[in-house]
Amino acid sequence: MLTSKADLPSIPSKRYFTISEVGELTGVKPHVLRYWEQEFSQLRQVKRRGNRRYYQHHEVLLVRRIRALLYDDGFTIQGARQRLGMGSEGERPITAQEVRAELESILEWLDSGIGKK
């Protein structure tokens, strides 16, 4: 599996890409792509001939962006969805690391207060 943005191959200039081609171009397995189609409304593939999925160039770029948000930047699905849909006045999504740090601080607070009654 590809590990960074630099490892990704360049996107050929063609109109449509199959799900396996998108997987190779983005480093994301086809079953993950199908799941992301349900989670990200911006990701809309075209279905043709026998219900096969075809993606356009801008959708390949979007899959790369989603992959970077989830795998490299540590966003949750909801956070990545918010980041992609965020306008100029939207709130900044929370990363998984920020959620963990907040939960750890709550645990410390609970641990420090439990034995003081």
CATH number, domain of 57, equals: 1.10.1660.10
Task: State pTM to two decimals.
Answer: 0.67
Residue 43 lies in a domain: yes
Residue 102 lies in a domain: yes
Residue 89 lies in a domain: yes
| 16-9-33-89 Cα dihedral, nearest 10 degrees | -90
In total, how many domains does the chain have?
Answer: 1
Q: pLDDT, tens digit, for every residue of 25-54?
A: 999 999 999 999 999 988 887 877 788 889
Place of tokens 């989670």: 39
Residue 7 lies in a domain: no
Enclosing domain of residue 79: 16-113
Residue 10 lies in a domain: no
The encoded tokens of residue 52 equal 């096969």
Q: pLDDT, tens digit, for every residue of 52-75?
A: 889 988 899 999 999 999 999 999
